Structure formats: structure tokens, C-alpha cells
Structure 1
């Protein structure tokens, strides 16, 4: 626990001293924050889950969610920019491929992308159409990916493509950028603009045999989600905590009808409910991360944490903006950015609706499994 406390305090200092003063500018600039990435790499943040012998921090999902909450307090877009290499690292580690593990040291200095989503296959990952054609010595990849985080900056990609029909036919490949991969311009985004996304085009890209890191690509993607969703939940927790702090400070300072806003019951109730959501979201997130840390099944807990925290963040920042009144609607105040940044938390890594379907599926499965 002492190590976790030290890691959290380190992330908190970095967030307050390095990210927060630049957050508004980085949002307006809408570019990947390379200087901050290099600083964060020196602290091990982009490679928290990578084993020490492979250049990482050698920590686990619990430390990752603690760091994610602290960084997201300053800016969720920057937090994603600094931490999503850990998602790629999980894919490389869980694939069981020695070739994949050889790429892990690069994640400290380079950015990598997780290329699963397609325009017609967002929530339904099994419906991807990207094909991997078997050719002498390797494979040719044909397809188009969209909303691929950090693709504009990525040196390599984990690409999911079909070697056969059905979800069992989905495989995962490691693809270097210099092999013919084309990346489109950054897609215009509502929020989290320091974490750019783009389309990725694979027009007959040739990859060698060893680039196929697993034939169980669908199963790998689902296992990675169970580890990455607690991180996204932690981003939501950090954002909600920031929104509560901003609203509380404003409610103490601002007066209406001769009294501080805090003394008006309608405002006080909003703040109390935000605190309730914050505490619940953090506990759900830690529970999901703890199970992942121990290598135990956590699909139900990860989906629960991600859905609850994301919804709580959107709900909470909306209420915080209401506390600010007209000022909350102005980009001169932080609530407008927090409001924009929050919405995507309900969408990426599985929408809030999909999380509820997962929760229902897991509830039924566990009840059947545990029934006498």
C-alpha cells in the first residue's frame, strides 16, 4: 500500500504542476502532448503495467486506476494520451506471443494504437470486416479502421482482422506504421482533444508470419476490455472529482439573494449527490481493478464500474455546470471543457448501453453457474 500511495502522490503532483496549468491550451491546440508524454515516460506512466525487465514500471491495474484518477482530475484528454499505451501493453502481454512481448520496451518512448473499431462495427466488435489474406510468408491486410486513438502519432498498431468467418475467425496482428499503413487526419472531436483519433487504412498491407500474435483475437479484445474499463472508469472518477471541487468552491464564493449559493438547499443537494456518486464510482472502480490485479474474472465488475462512473461523471458535471449558471456555459470557466470531455466516457471502451447488456449477461451466467 505504501507503494500505491507513493505512485498516487507522484501522479497527483504531476497532474497539478504539469498538466493543469496547460490543460486549457492543450484542449485548444488539439494535438498530442508530446512534451508531457516524454516527462510522464520518465515517471513510468505510459508503461505502468509493463514488466520492469521490459522497460516498464512493473505495476498492475490498481496502480493504473489510481494514476488515471489523478491525471484525469487535471485533464482527461491528456490522461488518455499518457496512459493508453497501457491498453496496448495489456494486449501484447495477454496475447501470449513472444514477438508481441518484444514490442513492449518501445512503449516507453513511442505511441501505439489499438485498432479494433470500424465504422459499422463499434459496439459489435464481432462484425469487423477487415480481412487478413494468407500469402507466402505472411498476410495481407485489407480494411479500414475508425476512431483509432493516437493513430496520428502511432509507431505501430495492434490490428484485429478476420482470417476466417465468425468471431472465432478474428485474429490480432502487430503492424508497423512503415509497412504501408495509411492514417487519415485527426478526426474533429467534441472533447478530450489532446488525445487525437483518426481513421487507419490497410490497403493490402503485407505483414510477416510472426506478426500474427494470436488467432483468438476476439477473446483477446474482450480480455483487454476487462482490464481497460476500470481505467476508463477511473478517468470518469477523476473528472467528477474535479467537477465537484470546482462547483463547491464556486458555491462558497458566489452569492445569490444575499447568501452564498451553498446555503441554498437546491444547490447543496446537487453537491451532496455528486459526492455520493463520486464515492460509489471510486469503490466500484477499485473493486474491478483489484480483481484484475489478482487475475480473477471481472467482466461484471468492470462493466458495472465503467457504466456507473461514466454516467455519474456526465450527470455530475452537468449539475456542476448548473451551479455555475451562465458562467458555466462560458469557455472562460472550466465546466464547459469538463462537460465536453465527459460525454465520450459513456461511448468509448463500450457504450453505457453495451455495459448494461454485459452486466445482464454476466448476472444470468453467474446465477446459473452458482445455482445449486
Structure 2
């Protein structure tokens, strides 16, 4: 397997790498300073400035294939996403950040012309942001059929009632759209046809943001992961996506690319952590020797390299399968990557933290927040256990006969 990206992708990778080095890295800490100001959920001015530069440079919507994006394959996009993943907020600069990427994919694949005009076009232009509202505090949302949020038809409208949390992106002032998953047909014998997805403008009456949720103490401003109550929220019937009972189908179409994109970015996090680990080990001395002269540190460096390379190859193989045979045919490899990559990244980042000592757990490096991201993604977009269960079922069907 060659995993050979196109000439266009190689050219874009060099451009993204140069943009990250010259434009993004020098202001990495300025972003956090601006995001910690008085208006914490306003997109930092430095991001808006960088977005304008990236858009002018043609480094825009790189994740999305076809006419709407750069026309790249998943395999082409993988190294670009990895490069963006070296700085946790950088993907937004290129309009390639979650949850907008998944929501744009939903709208491009399943939206009506009117829905695309109202929501997809401004998202593609980077003029607004969006959120995905699926997880609920009252049920085990790793099983999406458990979701209880009610979406009830009432004449020419749908009425939405329910409580969600970890609705990533909804705290940001630029967020104008919520894609909400709930049940339109809770009594359907097929549990996978009970759910639907519907478009809800964030400023609709009855949408109540209760609180922002922290992740290991981070509230992730200016994006946020709030808990939201939908209290008799009314939207036009035309806001339903694809039709009643199609929510689970849409979710599967959305989560596959979303999961692999997280893996791509996390490999970038891990690669940067490894480079930082090597630099620190060469620069610091303890007990009369450089840290790099201790066998235990050398083993950690070697193990980290091996684990990153293994995870990268698995991710590239999954991306290639998606390109060649479609997302459904690649679900085993996507699941495997989702199991392997976040855990790998958390281990590598943890090793770097250990060598950095006190500096590894404070705001002076990206390591603590990167570790938080890696650990969270072991739950986000489906916990490890669910992916292992699904993967094992598929393997048993294939090899257990």
C-alpha cells in the first residue's frame, strides 16, 4: 500500500506547514490571552485575522471533497489535518474545525437547496459557526437509540423538548445553528428509525443554555460545550433533515469522517509532543547528565516514535479505504483508528509531560490541554468500549464462520 497523496495535496501541505510556522505558531499564546478576556465566548481577534489570511491564500475548507471544498480525498487531507493538529485551535483558521466540519458535511450530503442556502453557504464562508446537539445527561448516549429528546410534529411546525449537554460549539457568539437529534417516532419497533435530526436556529425561543461544561477543568472558551434545555422550541417543519426517522442514518454518515478527522489531528498533537520531548531531553540536565542520556527517557522516545508511526499508518489506511470503497466499507478501520489513536496520543503526551516536569502541567506549554483533548476523545464520538464491541462483532461475522 503506497498511500500516495496527490501532487495538489503535497503542494497544499507545504503551504499549510509554512502558514502554521510563520503565522499561527508565533501567536499561539496570544489566542489564549484573548480567549481569557472579558468577552470569553467571542472568537479572538487573532483568529479572525488568520482566517482572512488563510482564505486569501486558498487554504480554506480543505476537509470537504467535491465542489464545496478543495476537492481532496480523505487520504490527501490526512497530513493537512495532522499539521493543523499541532496547535489545538488552528483548524478553525482554515475553516476545518469540529463541529462545523461534521455539520457542513451533513448539510452538503443531506440538506435541501433551501437549507444549504440558509446554513451551508455561510458556514462554508466562515461567517457563522454551528453546534451538534446529541448527547444527553439522563441516558447513556453512547447508545444513540437511548436518546429521549422529543421532536413532535404540530401542523407546519416541529416542537422540541429535551435536555442536552456537551453541545460543542454552542457557547460561541458566532454560533447560529444547532443540529439537534431527537425522537419523532419513539414507538417504532425498529429503534434505529425512531430518531430524526432537525435544524434549530440558536436564537429560537425556548433554547435555554444552562451552563458551560468543563473538561478536566477547561471550559474550552471561546467554543464551549454547554448544557441546553429545549423547552417547547418551535421550528418550521421544513427544518427536518432528510425526513423523519433518518437521524441515525445521518449520524453514522457524520461520525465516520468526524472520527477520522479527530485521529488525524491527534497524530499531529502526538508528533509535536514527541518533538518537544526530544528537545527537552537534550536541553535539560539532572544528576550530572542530560535527560537524553538516561535509558528510561530514551526508551520513552523510541516507544513514542513507534506508536505514532503505527497509528499514522492505521489512520492513512482507513482514509484510503474510505476513498476507495466508501465510509461504510471502512467502518472497521475507522473504529480501529478511533480506538488506537486517542490512547496513543495520551500516552505520548503524558511522556512529554513527565520529562517537562512542572512546566508540563502548566500554561507554558500546550501539553496539558493536548492531553485533555486526547483523553476526552476516548469518549467523544463514541467511547472506546462501543467501538471495540462494534469492531469485534464485525470480525466475528467475517472470521467466525
Alignment TM-score, normalising by the size of structure 1 = 0.89
Aligned twin of 1:210: 238
Higher helix residue share: 1
1:282 maps to which of 297, 312, 318: 312
Contact 2:153 2:237 in 1 (8 A): no
**Rounded Cα–Cα distance in structure 2 between residues aligned with 1:367 and 1:198:** 43
Contact 1:236 1:345 in 2 (8 A): no
> Once the 2 structures are TM-superposed, how far is the Cα of residue 87 of structure 1 from its aligned partner?
0.8
> Once the 2 structures are TM-superposed, how far is the Cα of residue 125 of structure 1 from its aligned partner?
1.5
Structure 1: any 5+ residue segments left out of the alignment? none
Q: What aligned pairs does 1:1-372 form with structure 2 within 5 A after superposition?
A: 1-27=6-32, 29=35, 31=41, 32-33=43-44, 35-36=46-47, 38-39=51-52, 40-42=54-56, 43-46=58-61, 48-49=63-64, 51-52=66-67, 54=68, 56-74=69-87, 76-79=88-91, 82=95, 83-84=97-98, 85-95=100-110, 97-102=112-117, 103-107=119-123, 108=125, 109-119=127-137, 120-153=139-172, 154-165=175-186, 166-180=191-205, 181-190=207-216, 191=218, 193=221, 195-214=223-242, 215=244, 216-294=246-324, 295-296=326-327, 297-367=329-399
**Rounded Cα–Cα distance in structure 2 between residues aligned with 1:194 and 1:317:** 24
> Once the 2 structures are TM-superposed, how far is the Cα of residue 50 of structure 1 from its aligned partner?
6.0
Structure 2: any 5+ residue segments left out of the alignment? 1-5
**Rounded Cα–Cα distance in structure 1 between residues aligned with 2:46 and 2:282:** 36
Residues 1:283 and 1:99: Cα distance change in structure 2 (over 3 Å) = farther
Residues 1:347 and 1:17: Cα distance change in structure 2 (over 3 Å) = farther
Larger deviation: 334-343 or 160-169? Answer: 334-343
**Matched positions, count:** 366
Contact 2:281 2:291 in 1 (8 A): yes
Q: Could you report, residue by residue, the CA deviation over 1:208-233 in whole angstroms, capped at 9, with x for unpaired residues?
A: 22211123111210221111111011
> Once the 2 structures are TM-superposed, how far is the Cα of residue 63 of structure 1 from its aligned partner?
4.0
**2:278 counterpart SS class:** helix
**Rounded Cα–Cα distance in structure 2 between residues aligned with 1:209 and 1:276:** 52
**Rounded Cα–Cα distance in structure 2 between residues aligned with 1:34 and 1:293:** 36
Alignment TM-score, normalising by the size of structure 2 = 0.83
Contact 1:144 1:200 in 2 (8 A): yes
**2:360 counterpart SS class:** helix
**1:155 counterpart SS class:** strand
> Once the 2 structures are TM-superposed, how far is the Cα of residue 292 of structure 1 from its aligned partner?
2.2
Residues 1:283 and 1:145: Cα distance change in structure 2 (over 3 Å) = same
**1:73 counterpart SS class:** coil
> Once the 2 structures are TM-superposed, how far is the Cα of residue 35 of structure 1 from its aligned partner?
4.3
> Once the 2 structures are TM-superposed, how far is the Cα of residue 313 of structure 1 from its aligned partner?
0.7
**1:213 counterpart SS class:** coil
> Once the 2 structures are TM-superposed, how far is the Cα of residue 46 of structure 1 from its aligned partner?
4.6
**Rounded Cα–Cα distance in structure 2 between residues aligned with 1:161 and 1:41:** 35
> Once the 2 structures are TM-superposed, how far is the Cα of residue 62 of structure 1 from its aligned partner?
3.0
**Rounded Cα–Cα distance in structure 1 between residues aligned with 2:158 and 2:366:** 48
Contact 2:150 2:182 in 1 (8 A): yes
Q: Which has the higher contact order (CA 8 A, sep 6+)?
A: 1
**Rounded Cα–Cα distance in structure 1 between residues aligned with 2:384 and 2:378:** 5
Larger deviation: 304-313 or 138-147? Answer: 138-147
What's the C-alpha RMSD, in Å, of the aligned pairs? Answer: 2.5
**Rounded Cα–Cα distance in structure 2 between residues aligned with 1:92 and 1:34:** 28
